[in-house]
């Protein structure tokens, strides 16, 4: 989905610069050199144009960063509610795609945490992200809880992953390094579970625990149906012999 788009050319063979081509180049530049290194002058040099050419498409660097944040946002998968109707499961899967962006684009990912949704497409996306919760009958308060809580957890976990795998500027060893945890018995006890190799597994386990907590906290349509189940069978237990649909069908078929 985030593969660079082929650049179109004019009849003279010159590259036809488009907004998408500029954003593609900006994302590739940030992946290679970091967000702090991005400038319109450097990006223009990569594209083989003058810096002023970019301003025909993006009036400011901020507008370019908004477009870059939009590109990353649209990599997030919208929730697909399973046949079971488990809304929480749908949002857990969507949040995994957010976390995956940090794996593929660690240097650009910070834009999702620091820039507001400043484009119409981003606003449309977030509206569509919340819609399944409300459309299924969840209250606005519970929908906000699910949307924010899962989002906060995955965003924070993704940023933590980026920090864990980023090279330390002063060659500081990781937290679990024997020299750092010497004299700290509690850190030493958990250190083997906090290594880089276990980062993604810890995220998955934490997300599952969060999902279980949300299922116990919010009232979903599935939970309401389950709660009504015993009430439907209580008539039979109390001796209520009024026929159901099958009973009515049998009476009609009787000679």
The CATH number for 21's domain is 1.10.10.60
Q: How many CB atoms lie within 10 A of CB 1?
A: 7
Q: Are residues 22 and 129 in the same domain?
A: no
- How do residues 10-43 score in pLDDT, each as one tens digit? 333 455 789 999 999 999 999 999 999 999 999 9
Nearest Cα residue to 64 out of 36, 45, 38: 38
Nearest Cα residue to 156 out of 99, 96, 71: 99
Q: How many CB atoms lie within 10 A of CB 45?
A: 13
Q: Are residues 92 and 212 in the same domain?
A: yes
Q: Are residues 24 and 148 in the same domain?
A: no
List Cβ neighbours of 119 (8 Å cut-off, separation of 6 or more).
66, 67, 69, 70
- 5 lies in a domain? yes
- 250 lies in a domain? no
Q: Specify the DSSP class assigned to residue 9.
A: B
Q: Are residues 105 and 212 in the same domain?
A: yes
Domain region containing 106: 73-166+189-228
Report the distance separating Cα 89 and Cα 87, nearest Å: 5
Q: Are residues 110 and 157 in the same domain?
A: yes
More confident residue, 85 or 149: 149
Supply 193's token pair. 């579970």
- 19 lies in a domain? yes
Report the distance separating Cα 192 and Cα 200, nearest Å: 14
pTM (two decimals): 0.78
Supply 153's token pair. 């957890």
- pLDDT at position 230 is 56
Q: Are residues 45 and 132 in the same domain?
A: no
Q: Specify whether the CB–CB gap between 243 and 251 falls below 8 A.
A: yes
- How do residues 91-143 score in pLDDT, each as one tens digit? 999 999 999 999 999 999 999 999 999 999 999 999 999 999 999 999 999 99
Report the distance separating Cα 222 and Cα 208, nearest Å: 18
CA distances (Å), origin 44, targets 3, 38, 39, 54, 147:
20, 10, 8, 7, 38
- 248 lies in a domain? no
Q: Are residues 50 and 115 in the same domain?
A: no
Q: Are residues 26 and 80 in the same domain?
A: no
Nearest Cα residue to 91 out of 106, 74, 71, 77: 77
Q: Are residues 12 and 35 in the same domain?
A: yes
CATH number at residue 110: 1.10.357.10
Q: Are residues 10 and 80 in the same domain?
A: no
Q: Are residues 31 and 126 in the same domain?
A: no
Supply 133's token pair. 């919760």
- How do residues 180-190 score in pLDDT, each as one tens digit? 889 999 999 99
Q: Are residues 135 and 158 in the same domain?
A: yes
């Amino acid at each position: 989905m985030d593969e660079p788009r082929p650049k179109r050319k004019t009849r003279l063979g010159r590259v036809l610069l488009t907004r998408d081509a500029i954003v593609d180049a900006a994302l590739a530049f940030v992946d290679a050199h970091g967000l702090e290194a991005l400038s319109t002058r450097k990006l223009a040099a990569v594209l083989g144009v003058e810096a002023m050419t970019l301003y025909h498409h993006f009036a400011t660097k901020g507008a370019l960063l908004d477009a870059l944040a939009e590109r990353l946002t649209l990599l997030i998968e919208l929730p697909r509610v399973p046949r079971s109707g488990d809304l929480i499961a749908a949002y857990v899967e969507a949040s995994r795609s957010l976390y995956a962006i940090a794996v593929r684009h660690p240097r650009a990912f910070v834009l999702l945490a620091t820039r507001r949704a400043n484009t119409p497409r981003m606003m449309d996306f977030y509206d569509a992200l919340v819609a399944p919760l409300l459309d299924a009958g969840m209250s606005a308060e519970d929908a906000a809880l699910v949307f924010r809580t899962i989002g906060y957890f995955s965003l924070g976990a993704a940023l933590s992953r980026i920090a864990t795998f980023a090279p330390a500027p002063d060659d500081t060893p990781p937290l679990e390094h024997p020299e750092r945890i010497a004299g700290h018995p509690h850190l030493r006890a958990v250190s083997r579970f906090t290594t880089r190799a276990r980062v993604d597994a810890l995220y998955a386990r934490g997300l599952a625990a969060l999902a279980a907590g949300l299922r116990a906290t919010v009232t979903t349509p599935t939970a309401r149906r389950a709660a009504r189940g015993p009430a439907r069978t209580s008539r039979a237990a109390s001796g209520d012999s009024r026929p159901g649909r099958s009973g009515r069908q049998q009476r009609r078929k009787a000679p």
